[in-house]
Amino acid sequence: MTTSPLRQKTKPNHLWLVFFITLILFLFGWYASLRFGAVSYSNQTLLEVAKHPLTNSSAQDVIFDLRLPRSLAAILVGASMAQAGAIIQGVTRNPIADPGLLGINAGAGLALILAYAIFGSLHYTSILLACLMGSLLAALLVFGLSYHRQRGYSQLRLILAGAMVSTLFSAIGQAITLYFDLSTTIIGWQAGGLAQTNWKMLAIIAPILIIGLLLAQVLSHQLTILSLNETVAKALGQRTLLTTISLLAVVLILSSGAVALVGTISFVGLIIPHFVRLFVGKNYKLLLPLTAFLGATFMLWVDVIARVIHPPAETPISAIISLVGLPCFLWLIRKGKSL
């Protein structure tokens, strides 16, 4: 007797083990993100700031006004990018898909380059708005190119359209960068980083990311059905086109918000869902929250490492993620697991 694909077996013991290990790493990562950096503080100082957060002191300025919003941003960005990766892999049924498939990174980058070329200097709110608008334009273009009036929507056309739009936008962005000599202006955004994060930026982006994370969980059961097979999904009564568009809209919300906040980041949306899927399978009700939790933990530690490698200078987080992500990806491929 075969098991229904909607009731795939998970590994509960391993699942709880992964959860508790992630929880411990998350708590230690948050502690380290508040304590260590260009200036490191003692446990006593950290406790004093926690007890009296409104006291006017240099430690309070660093821990409460700089490091706390930065750590919260790392948590939200890691959760959002990892969950967006899990969704796009489920929608396209492509285990090597990531949020960049929709041209979101390239669209955000092109919009930011155009804004700098036109206006010269930008306030951080303008940077966030430009990235969001560019991501939206790229995603809409990919959606439009991947939909055929007679044949409907196709995952293969989505992949091809995303690759084409990403290549086109990246090429245009590079040309504009060279023509207007903007290399030094946008290099920090391209490298990715949380150094400029503050409470005002977080107040703008955090609600967007939180809404996206909640919507993803609401649609998790529909994503489980859609990820199986289009024919099976339709046989179960699912409106596959509407479900696909809704899920891709969630990916847009999560990815564009994260990219606008920290810049271009790769591998998070690719590696984290793969690792969690080893223990959960394709049950997205469990996969999405655990993926978000592990992604948040991973980004917390990446941010800490970026600060402590060569203080007071900061190492680009994209470089650290690539160094960690590439070996992990090669290991997962070599394991030969069913992803």
- pLDDT tens digits along 140-199: 888 888 777 666 666 678 778 888 888 899 899 989 988 888 887 777 777 677 888 888
Q: Look up tokens 């990562």; give the residue.
A: 29
Ramachandran region, residue 152 (left: φ > 0; alpha: ψ -120 to 50; beta: rest): left
Per-residue pLDDT of the chain (339 residues), as tens digits, is: 444 544 445 556 578 888 999 999 999 999 999 988 888 888 888 888 887 777 777 888 888 888 999 999 999 999 999 999 999 888 888 777 788 777 888 898 899 899 889 887 777 778 778 888 888 888 888 888 877 766 666 667 877 888 888 889 989 998 998 888 888 777 777 767 788 888 888 988 899 999 999 999 999 999 998 888 777 777 877 887 788 889 988 998 898 888 888 887 878 888 899 888 888 888 899 999 999 999 999 999 999 998 888 887 788 888 888 888 777 767 766 765 444
- Which pLDDT score is estimated for 109? 86
CATH number at residue 114: 1.10.3470.10
Is residue 82, in this structure, part of any structural domain at all? yes
Domain total in the chain: 1
Res 321: pLDDT: 86
Give a yes or no: residue 214 inside a domain.
yes
Which tens digit of pLDDT belongs to each residue from 271-309? Answer: 899 888 888 888 899 999 999 999 999 999 999 998 888
Tell me what pLDDT residue 302 has. 93
User: With 0-12 CB in 10 A as exposed, 13-18 as middle and 19+ as buried, what is 319?
Assistant: middle
In a domain, 6, yes or no: no
pLDDT of residue 58: 83
* 19: in domain: no
Residue 7 lies in a domain: no
Length of the chain: 339
Establish if 10 belongs to a structural domain: no
**pLDDT on residue 11:** 56
pLDDT recorded at residue 338:
45
Give residue 10's pLDDT.
54
Give domain status of residue 9, yes or no: no
The model's pTM: 0.87
Q: Where do the H-state alpha helices sit in 236-283?
A: 240-262, 268-280
Query: What contacts 24+ positions apart, CB below 8 Å, involve 198-202?
Result: 198/65, 198/66, 198/69, 198/124, 199/65, 199/69, 200/124, 200/125, 201/69, 201/73, 201/124, 201/125, 201/128, 201/261, 202/69, 202/72, 202/73
What is the domain range of residue 323?
27-335
Query: So what's the pLDDT on residue 335?
Result: 62
247 within some domain: yes
